[in-house]
């Protein structure tokens, strides 16, 4: 990480940190004042989105339904499949709490980042101790894309919208499998809500 001068915030983004067992210890050893921001969304939708991304690169992989189960007849979920494993947020958070207090970790709702981007960004700015510079007036909703776009500062170029590869259409998944996954995640979600003091409304 580069050195941070007075009045600066150094930021680094890597999605896999939150789910990498060794990450919190290493980050703590680097700087125990580090603040952590994690975007989370409904773990079932997250798993399907994860699968969709892999499918776009490797079209020959097995179906989502077959990868979900260790044994479809007994309904035993394959928790070693990363698409499933990553959504067990309470377990990953437990690992981070061995090193960092909850006050240094902010969970941003992926759903609200779409429905109320300024509200979520407001929470981020507060968490970082910044003035609320980014507000509603910086966003407009792109109906075609289904995501908000960020308007740049006055006089600057085009607004920033998500790239072409974002917002892929998810395949239809057998509703029974989706239900089984909802049942699987429910207790972990409840624990996560308790730990964070925030109900993300995923049920
Ligand atoms: N800013 C913002 N707000 C809300 N949601 C967002 C945002 N950026 C990315 N996404 C959604 O996150 C999913 C994974 O995105 P990526 O394709 O960027 O994944 S990755 O970072 O390359 O692994 C993917 O979800 P799905 O579209 O549902 O598959 C993205 O659309």
**Has residue 26 been placed in a domain?**
yes
Q: Is 56 annotated for ligand binding?
A: no
Structural domain including 151 reads 17-196
Return the percent helix, strand and coil in the chain, to nearest 5.
45, 10, 45
**Has residue 170 been placed in a domain?**
yes
38 token code pair: 């994690």
- Nearest of 99, 107, 102, 105 to residue 28 by alpha carbon: 99
Domains held by the chain: number: 1
**Has residue 89 been placed in a domain?**
yes
Domain of 172, CATH number, reads 3.40.50.300
What's the pLDDT tens digit per position in 7-32?
Answer: 999 999 999 999 999 999 999 999 99
Q: Checking DSSP bridges between strand 105-109 and strand 36-40, what pairing results, if any?
A: parallel
| Percentage, residues of the chain above pLDDT 90 | 84
Residues 162 and 146: their CA atoms lie apart, in Å, by: 10
Which of the listed residues 39, 49, 119 should we mutate to test ligand 1's pocket, taking the one with most ligand atoms within 8 A of CB? 49
Write out residues with Cβ below 6 Å of ligand 1: 15, 49, 52-53, 110, 113-114, 162, 165-168
82 to 88, 118, 190: CA distances (angstroms): 10, 31, 21
Helix residue ranges, H only, 58-116:
64-68, 82-85, 89-96, 110-115
- Which atom number of ligand 1 is nearest to the Cα of residue 166? 31
**Has residue 68 been placed in a domain?**
yes
Predicted local confidence at residue 153, as pLDDT:
67
**Has residue 12 been placed in a domain?**
no
User: Mean pLDDT over residues 75-101, rounded?
Assistant: 98
Distance between Cα 23 and ligand 1 center (Å): 22
**Has residue 3 been placed in a domain?**
no
| Percentage, residues of the chain above pLDDT 70 | 98
Predicted local confidence at residue 200, as pLDDT:
98
The interface predicted TM-score of the complex, written ipTM, equals 0.92
41 to 60, 133, 192: CA distances (angstroms): 27, 25, 12
Residues 127 and 114: their CA atoms lie apart, in Å, by: 19
**Has residue 192 been placed in a domain?**
yes
**Has residue 82 been placed in a domain?**
yes
């Amino acid at each position: 990480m580069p050195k941070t001068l007075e009045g600066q915030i150094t930021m680094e983004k890597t999605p896999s940190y939150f789910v990498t067992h060794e990450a919190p210890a290493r980050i703590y050893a680097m700087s125990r004042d580090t603040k952590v921001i994690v975007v989370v969304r409904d773990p079932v939708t997250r798993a399907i989105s994860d699968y969709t991304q892999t499918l776009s690169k490797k079209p020959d992989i097995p179906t989502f339904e077959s990868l979900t189960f260790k044994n479809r007849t007994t309904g035993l979920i394959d928790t070693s499949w990363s698409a499933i494993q990553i959504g067990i947020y309470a377990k990953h958070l437990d690992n981070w709490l061995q090193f960092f207090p909850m006050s240094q970790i902010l969970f941003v709702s992926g759903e609200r980042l779409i429905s109320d981007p300024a509200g979520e960004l407001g929470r981020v700015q507060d968490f970082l101790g910044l003035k609320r510079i980014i507000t509603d007036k910086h966003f407009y909703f792109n109906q075609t894309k289904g995501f908000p776009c960020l308007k740049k500062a006055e006089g600057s170029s085009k607004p920033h919208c998500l790239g072409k590869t974002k917002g892929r259409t998810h395949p239809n998944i057998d509703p029974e499998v989706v239900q089984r996954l909802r049942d699987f995640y429910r207790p972990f979600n409840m624990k996560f809500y308790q730990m964070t003091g925030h109900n993300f409304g995923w049920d």
